[in-house]
Amino acid sequence: MYSRIQLRLNTSAATIRRVTPRQTWSTGAYRNVVPFMTEPLTAGLRAVSQRSPYPWRLILAAMAIMLLVNIAGAAIVDYVWGEFHYTEDPRYAAFRGVCYWVGDARTLNRISLNGYTDYFYDLSRRHLTDLPDRSWWPVFPLLTSGMIALTGDGVCSGWTVNLLAVLLLIPVIQAITGTRRLSLLLGLAVIPYALWLYVGMAEGVFLLFSGVLWLICLQARPDDRTRNILAGAGALGVGALVGLTKPNSIALIPAFLAWGLADGWRYWRRAGRALPRWTRASDLNPGWVAVLASGGIALGNGLWLWQTSGYYPFYVLLAQRTLWFKQFYPGDLGTLLDYFAGGLDQFLQGRVDLLGLEHLKRLTGVLMIAILAVQQLRPRYPGGPRRTVPFYARLSLAAILLLMFFSGQIHAITRYAMGNIFFVVLFLTYVYGSDEEAAFWRLPGVILRCRAGTFAAMLRLTLLVLGLLLTAIVMSLGPQLGI
């Protein structure tokens, strides 16, 4: 009798050890997948008392280095943009490039100081076709106003807010990926078009809130009512915050919605007739968390559009469509290809002007998004890594391309790309590799020795170089490119 009981205990323990590792409902029922899709808030947080402690040294080192890199990058931007504008009027030297000249920094700073108005910089009235202040979503100006109140700095508080958000984004990315590689975390500084992480604009804050929302959704667990209720409430609140930060958040809605519906359907099918229908659809179902996240994003955007419409429904969107002319006919692939053909023709003839360079830069944005969206799809090349990519991340990247294609406007495609948390995480994990893959500095050796995975190593190095090159281009030619 004793031996039978002991045998059953040993068998149960072996089964538990065999089934437990990294099984989740986030990417498919009971499949072993990479940590950054399955282990929310990192395995490190739970492993403090188990295997390895939380990597505080790694996080602090990455944040310290990122601080120095961001300050140096901001100095470069100040020099480049200052040299371009100071020639117009020497008095412009009083304004830093990262705080005033780049993109929408001066508009966001003015809103933070004076609130939302209907006037231009010279206090003249706006025309109907001019962008109103309410074209900029309210969270970043609100945070900047708080920083102004704390520091008294009415010029560069927006840059300070964005810098703090970029630094806090490092532990969020580490939590999502579970990485122990310093290079992957520091790669955030040179993701493609990283200019927007160095200036006083909302991209860093938007990425931070989007990453936190991703982490919250990863907390959902089947049959854990308390955990799902807390995660759902957090997802709804943070989702609304994301929706009130930037209109780019619209591209996140399909991803979180599809994620939640897929998780909910898996739970429904697994439970079968063992549970009543209302129980399978209750808070025991983990799919509600991601669904609430998408609902929160839609709620945030809806509240701002409703508040800014007045007598003109969707006035903010109509003003933007009127101001930004169409680069191609919406939904017309031929005119889109013709738009890119101009830049490619100049490149092949060796006489690329600024307009052609701008077309090529936007083409790289489309290609970068497409490459990361289709990676790991079949057919796969031999010797490459078997890295699982969440289907909802692919869906968010596809949503960016669809918004661009059916709006006829491509001028902001690079900002939409680098401001998407799924794009950032997929780029970092693709280029710098997971902990089980070769580090990027070992890739040249893999290529020279023609080892297995040579083609994959060449692709990773190519994207690494492209990220550095595109960041350098937008930093050095930003004023002339009109970004």
For residues 347 and 356, the answer to whether their CB atoms sit within 8 Å is yes
Half-sphere exposure of 108 (CA within 13 A, CB side): 31
Is 0.95 topped by the overall pTM? no
Give pLDDT tens digits for 407-431: 888 888 888 999 999 999 999 999 9
Highest mean pLDDT among 4-8, 35-39, 433-437: 433-437
| Residues paired with 32 in a beta bridge | 23
pLDDT for residue 326? 72
Percent of the chain whose predicted confidence (pLDDT) is above 90: 41
Q: Is the pLDDT of residue 323 over 70?
A: no
pLDDT for residue 388? 80
pLDDT for residue 86? 61
Give pLDDT tens digits for 205-264: 999 999 999 999 999 998 888 999 999 999 999 999 999 999 999 999 999 999 999 999
pLDDT for residue 408? 85
End-to-end CA distance of the chain: 78
For residues 158 and 108, the answer to whether their CB atoms sit within 8 Å is yes
Q: Is the pLDDT of residue 317 over 70?
A: yes
Choose between 453 and 117: higher pLDDT. 117
Mean confidence (pLDDT) of the chain? 81
Q: Is the pLDDT of residue 439 over 50?
A: yes
Give pLDDT tens digits for 114-164: 888 866 655 566 655 567 788 899 999 999 999 999 999 888 999 999 999
Element (H, E) at 62: helix 56-86
Give pLDDT tens digits for 348-382: 888 888 888 888 888 999 999 999 999 888 777 66
Choose between 107 and 378: higher pLDDT. 107
pLDDT for residue 32? 32
Q: Is the pLDDT of residue 299 over 90?
A: yes
Choose between 442 and 174: higher pLDDT. 174
For residues 425 and 215, the answer to whether their CB atoms sit within 8 Å is no
